[in-house]
Amino acid sequence: MQGFHLPCHMAEAVLSFIDAQHRHPLPDPKWYKPWDKRLGPGVVGLNLDLYAGSVLGLVGPNGAGKTTLLRMMAGILPLQKGEVKARFHSDTPAEVDDLRQWVGHMPEQVRWQGRMTVRDILIQLAEMRNVDQTRIDGLLGLVGLRGRQDEALNNLSQGMRQRLSIAAALLGSPKVLLLDEPFNGLDPVASQAFTDLVRRLASKGVSVVISS
């Protein structure tokens, strides 16, 4: 994915990337350096401003760098070049820990399996992340799982699993929500419900980035 720049708005961006780069290392063995590597494809020269309550779509073929970009925004992949700035509370450069605190990430595939219930898995995740468990009731209502909170993970439909993934990503009250291929496996009804949920989140000031 080559660099691009989104147009500026009057409002101040909550998250900005300036000439950011992450290229994946690939094996490049030589007889004198059998474990040598070179930089392969990835995201190069990224300039991006993300605004509160905005919904940004990433569209491109497989291998274009969409997942790499989302992982950079989530603080999972380090920047090899460039700078990231967050203005969640103040205009100061963000550290990786800041991104992980304020950015919620829903990976493309989350395997929700087992006999544990929807509510129990969210409680467990909240404990692991040191998040207030009183948020769980509100999240269940927000994503439409309140009536399924006692359902075992094994019994959930694909649409319900996607909703649970969003609830897990929202546990820490993120300012930015990253959704990697969220519509995979959803029927038209579930897709519309998911779209409505994204709109509700944006109306609450959450910035949403969706890859497709």
Chain segment 70-110, per-residue pLDDT in tens: 999 998 998 999 988 887 765 555 565 667 778 899 888 78
Residue 196 CA to residue 80 CA, distance in Å, equals: 36
* DSSP letters spanning 151-205: SBGGG--HHHHHHHHHHHHTTT--SEEEEESTTTT--HHHHHHHHHHHHHHHHTT
Instruction: Judge whether 175 lies within some domain.
Output: yes
Of 100, 115, 103, 85, nearest to 20 by C-alpha is 85
Residue 195 CA to residue 212 CA, distance in Å, equals: 13
Instruction: Judge whether 10 lies within some domain.
Output: no
Instruction: Judge whether 5 lies within some domain.
Output: no
Q: Total structural domains in the chain?
A: 1
pLDDT for res 147: 93
Q: Domain limits at 162?
A: 15-211
- pLDDT, one tens digit for every residue, the chain (212 residues): 444 444 444 467 888 899 999 999 888 888 788 888 888 888 999 999 999 999 999 988 888 889 999 999 998 998 999 988 887 765 555 565 667 778 899 888 788 999 999 999 999 999 988 888 888 999 898 888 999 999 999 999 988 898 899 899 988 888 899 999 888 877 888 888 888 888 988 998 999 999 98
Instruction: Judge whether 4 lies within some domain.
Output: no
Strand order in the sheet with 176-180: 55-58, 207-211, 176-180, 103-106
Residue 114 CA to residue 49 CA, distance in Å, equals: 40
CATH number of domain containing 65 = 3.40.50.300
